[in-house]
Amino acid sequence: MTAAPHSSAASLPVRRGEEPWTEAELDGVRGELKAEAVGLREEIGQAESQIAARLRDSVAEAGDDEADASSKLFEREHELAISRNTRELLEQTEHALERIEAGTYGVCESCGKPIGKARLLAFPRATLCVECKQRQERR
């Protein structure tokens, strides 16, 4: 089966002066994002089973002194924060893949202008052009 015309690489937006996307370049980005999504899902699965194991431990060791209990709490929150970040990354990665399939990959989600191929090759998950990203960071 061939790709639908709307998702063909050459129709994706690029910045002035940039060459259109080639199928090989788009395949490269898609492959990278897919591999990343697999890795992130594994990481989330591991973090979740660690958190579950720790919860079981803390129930089993209910007699701990306070300092010990609070350091365990800290560890648990740290793990939760990591898995939250990982989840966010996974969402961004999946979002980028959806955009590739929808043929909207490379359109800035804020101003609608091309993000630029060079930027996407460096940051495949980018959803904002450099200007919008900088504006967002200044806020």
Binding site for Zn ion (CB under 5 A): 108, 110-111, 129, 132
Minimum distance from residue 98 beta carbon to Zn ion (Å)? 19
The nearer residue to Zn ion, 90 or 116, going by C-beta atoms, is 116
For Zn ion, the closer of residues 50 and 110 by Cβ is 110
Q: Whose Cβ is closer to Zn ion: residue 29's or residue 108's?
A: 108
Output the CA angle 120-98-85, nearest 5 degrees.
70
Tokens of 24: 């090989």
Helices (H), 61-116: 66-102
**Smaller CB separation from Zn ion, 90 or 129:** 129
3-state secondary structure of 107: strand
DSSP code of residue 136: H
Q: How far is the CB of 106 from Zn ion (least distance, A)?
A: 11
* Smallest separation, CB 126 to Zn ion (Å): 10
- Min. distance of Cβ 22 from Zn ion in angstroms? 24
Distance CA 106, CA 44 (A): 27
- Helix locations, 1-139, DSSP H: 23-60, 66-102, 117-122, 130-138
